[in-house]
Structure 1
Amino acid sequence: MNPVAARHTALVKQLSRKLGFDYCGIARAATLDEDARRLEKWLNKGYHGTMVYMERYFDLRIDPRKLVPGAQSVITLLMNYFPARKQRADSYRISKYAYGRDYHRVIKKKLKQLLKSLQEQIGKIQGRGFVDSAPVLERAWAVRSGLGWVGKNGNLITRQQGSFLFIATLITDLELVYDDPFAKDYCGTCTRCIDACPTQAILPDKIIDASRCISYYTIELKAHIYPQEAEGKWKDWIFGCDICQDVCPWNRFSRVSQEADLEPVPEILDFSTQEWEQLTEEKFVELFGHTPLKRAGWEGLQRNIRLIKKNQTNF
């Protein structure tokens, strides 16, 4: 083992813990040939719906060395976001990942700090950090880094804490010691997520028809009318969906997040259905402008509420 690479690897993992990341795994930068074939097939089937951005930068998605010239290592970091409290019972549902501050900003800041600290202690190295919104196949890299496996619901699952975890990636030209890939699938014969999905978005072989997912309907789809076959099936979700994670047996191991910047916004937990319905655009910006809810915006949430109320009347 290269002693310099080993020392640098220990430093990466030490700094990541100090910054509040729960897990850190490292893989050699290489082309993701098998994942490229799966992605191409998924796109050709139209499972991405109107999310045309998924079609862009295909070559960058499958090869990190095209994102960071000279890249040698892909560092994958996980951060727990499981909340201590749930929303009140008489409320419209929000996905747990959106309870607190916008995780993109929170984690991107930490990635910059990690890279800066490595540059200060090691010297001139290059790197780029990515959180969710860049052309990186983050779950594939998490598996290659030994952190967990991709479940039937398409989420990365860890044996220690389940799946309520944000995934971040730091691609760097720093040579490191690489973790063994996660080789086993611990979903077994369990089909709880498939059985629980109201819109049948979870298909065989770990394929997700994103165009039928409740998260897609409530966030990505900008139309004012949902497909007729989906009407009434997402119940009271107005931003995202946690059904497939909530029923996953591995999430019985979820632990409450200790990250202060991901602490839930009180109003998200405490608002009643009536308060969501009466929320003004000005108040939305004041209360939730710094959270992931801004992706749907006030108008998007109000559209979702109107459609839910319409479906409740019709069914």
Structure 2
Amino acid sequence: MPVEHSDPLAFKTWLRTEALSAGFARVGFAGCDPFLAEEARLGTWFKEGRGTLLPYLDPATLLDPQALWPQARTALVGFFPYARPEATPGAAPGSLKLSRYLWGPDYHMILKPRLARLLEAAQAQWPGLEGRVCVDTAPLLERQLAARAGLGWQGKHTLLIAGKDGSWGFLGVLLLSIELPPDKPFGTQQCGTCTACLEVCPSGALEPFRLDPSRCLTTYTIETEAEPPPEVAAALAASRWAAGCDACQEACPWNRAPIWGDPALWGGPSPLHTRSAGELPRGAAQWRKLTRRTALRRVRDRHWRATLARILGE
């Protein structure tokens, strides 16, 4: 039934209901004002060269959603759970570890169409509405936006913790061209004195609320083919994380009983998670077949082979 176009609150309620029915576990709304409180911290992070291996990041755009999309007035932010109890990296005898977010189909292929359908339905309800779908490929401070929308807080491991629902979740954002009543920001973080995530980081890439990509295993197994520093290469070999790294999330107390992803949505395990290290694919054709329609497809087979060589000491 159509929503009354002149009632932003009713429209917001309708949008939240539709987003929840699309599979998001939590949905919040935030204004698109610049993140002025983040300016100094982000500026220091870039001046220290932390973004060198992530050249696609632009601090000016990151700090202002309207720099990304000038029409943005409201952001709908959704938390989409992806982990499953039975999906445990390294559980199979002799296997290497691949981050849980890589176990199913490419999440962009799931979240973007769902948000696009939500936008299309919203435009039918509110003529003239414009929107833009963002799923971690746009220069947007999604975690800060999620905290602003009341979904949770950014933990000491820098990931969003959605309260008792944990941190095993993707963030999807739908920028809208109309102003809707914002939700109450989450407020202060709830990590307290806990340092479990910092202590367990295999390469020492974490400080409280701060990540150094030049020391992060994920940087060298997913983001760049650059040669890792010797100490990071040693951490790769010792931890056996071949793609991504979940160590900090595995240690987080908020993930003791998280909300789990839908097994029917994510499907069964790939041979990449069940084979021993010696049986993992080395050829380009086999790699393309196993990674088809997954988030691992962005990793070239030569990059994969280089990671295997570092881990297995070849």
TM-score, normalising length: structure 1? 0.92
Q: 2:163 corresponds to which residue?
A: 159
Residue-by-residue CA offset, 1:208-244 (whole Å, 9 max, x unaligned): 1111011012122313x32122232122111000000
Corresponding residue to 2:222 among 205, 209, 219: 219
**1:4 partner amino acid:** D
User: Following the alignment from structure 1 to structure 2, what is the Cα–Cα distance between the partners of residues 227 and 266?
Assistant: 30
Answering whether residue 71 of structure 2 is matched by residue 48 of structure 1, we say no
Q: 2:84 corresponds to which residue?
A: 83
Answering whether residue 206 of structure 2 is matched by residue 202 of structure 1, we say yes
Answering whether residue 37 of structure 2 is matched by residue 19 of structure 1, we say no
User: Following the alignment from structure 2 to structure 1, what is the Cα–Cα distance between the partners of residues 283 and 269?
Assistant: 17
Q: 2:299 corresponds to which residue?
A: 296
Ranges in structure 1 where 5+ consecutive residues have no aligned partner: none
Answering whether residue 184 of structure 2 is matched by residue 183 of structure 1, we say no
**2:69 partner amino acid:** V
Answering whether residue 244 of structure 2 is matched by residue 240 of structure 1, we say yes
Residue-by-residue CA offset, 1:242-273 (whole Å, 9 max, x unaligned): 00000000001223212744335432332221
Q: 1:307 corresponds to which residue?
A: 310
- 5 Å-filtered alignment, 1:21-170, equals 21-54=24-57, 56=58, 58-85=59-86, 86-87=88-89, 88-170=92-174
User: Following the alignment from structure 1 to structure 2, what is the Cα–Cα distance between the partners of residues 251 and 270?
Assistant: 24
Deviation at 1:129? 0.8
Corresponding residue to 1:7 among 10, 15, 26: 10
Deviation at 1:59? 2.8
User: Following the alignment from structure 1 to structure 2, what is the Cα–Cα distance between the partners of residues 70 and 132?
Assistant: 19
Deviation at 1:285? 1.1
User: Following the alignment from structure 1 to structure 2, what is the Cα–Cα distance between the partners of residues 25 and 239?
Assistant: 31
Q: Is the 8 A contact 2:53 2:213 kept in 1?
A: no
SS at match of 2:178: coil
Residue-by-residue CA offset, 1:79-137 (whole Å, 9 max, x unaligned): 00012422414211100011111111211111101100100122220110101111110
User: Following the alignment from structure 2 to structure 1, what is the Cα–Cα distance between the partners of residues 273 and 142?
Assistant: 29
**2:136 partner amino acid:** D
Deviation at 1:16? 0.1
SS at match of 2:133: strand
Q: Is the 8 A contact 1:130 1:168 kept in 2?
A: yes
Deviation at 1:302? 1.2
User: Following the alignment from structure 2 to structure 1, what is the Cα–Cα distance between the partners of residues 313 and 271?
Assistant: 25
Aligned length: 305
Q: Is the 8 A contact 1:100 1:291 kept in 2?
A: yes
Distance 1:309 1:266, change over 3 A: closer
Deviation at 1:3? 7.3
Ranges in structure 2 where 5+ consecutive residues have no aligned partner: none
**1:233 partner amino acid:** A
Q: CA RMSD in A?
A: 1.8
- The 10-residue stretch of structure 1 (233-242 or 136-145) with the greater mean CA deviation from structure 2: 233-242
Q: Is the 8 A contact 1:60 1:135 kept in 2?
A: yes
**2:64 partner amino acid:** D
**2:13 partner amino acid:** A
**1:67 partner amino acid:** L
User: Following the alignment from structure 2 to structure 1, what is the Cα–Cα distance between the partners of residues 189 and 65?
Assistant: 25
Answering whether residue 288 of structure 2 is matched by residue 285 of structure 1, we say yes
